[in-house]
Amino acid sequence: MKELHQKMQSYMFNKISFLLVFFFLVFTANAQLEKGNISTGAGIDIASTFVAATKYNNSYFNLSVAPGLTYFVINNLAIGGSVNFTMIVQRREKTTAFLSEVGPTIRYYFGKKKVTNKKGFIQLNGGYATSTFLIDSKVSGRDGGFVGGLIGFAYFINKNISMETSLGYTYNKQKDWVRHNIPFKVGFNIFILPKKKSPESEAQP
């Protein structure tokens, strides 16, 4: 009986702990999108990588990573900047390309107010683009600009972290070279929330 009682206590403790963690994760996501918050994160374009690996029988490799940093100027609207790094390797053509895109970003979150842990978003960005090509040991470079946008979905794990998926379009033109890209990205965002002042500290002169 004593062992059974201990097992029951352990079972109830584990279940209560699980429920507490669950409610914490789901219901604390309510202040990430407020004015004054900062978000930083990154996304990986898995679409280009998948197409490169399947369509070209692994003779073509593509990897694109895009870190960014934004500040919420008003609730749900964040403005900042992002950098997109892309590496393309064409083994048959003996060509390697490194692409960089840097510029301002604006993102707007939308969704039902009562649903705090699931939000849609749209994002626009553009700016300066540059690339370096390595072809048969010869190096060349190009400069230009890019413009793009995407629409996505963010799931907030807790008040500081969200997981995201998005689909977009990017137009990149550098002199005589043009690139059209339809990225499907997966990524994350970390939200930095400012510490709220206590009533006592606000009352002090």
pLDDT tens digits, one per residue of 48-57: 555 545 555 5
Q: What are the tens digits of pLDDT across the range 24-43?
A: 333 334 468 899 999 999 99
Model's pTM, two decimal places?
0.73
Residue 22 lies in a domain: no
Residue 155, CA distances (Å) to 29, 85, 106, 107 in order: 9, 25, 19, 15
Bridge partners (DSSP) of residue 65 are: 44, 85
Residue % of the chain over a pLDDT of 70: 73
Split into its structural domains, the chain has a count of 1
Residue 12 lies in a domain: no
Alpha carbons 48 and 185: distance in angstroms, whole number: 9
**Angle at the Cα of 155 from the Cα atoms of 162 and 54, rounded to 5 degrees:** 90
Residue 20 lies in a domain: no
What residue numbers bound the domain in which 94 lies? 31-193
Alpha carbons 49 and 101: distance in angstroms, whole number: 18
Residue 59 lies in a domain: yes
Residue 21 lies in a domain: no
186: CATH: 2.40.160.20
Residue 16 lies in a domain: no
Residue 48 lies in a domain: yes
Residue 87 lies in a domain: yes
Residues 6 or more apart whose Cβ sits within 8 Å of residue 28? 158, 159
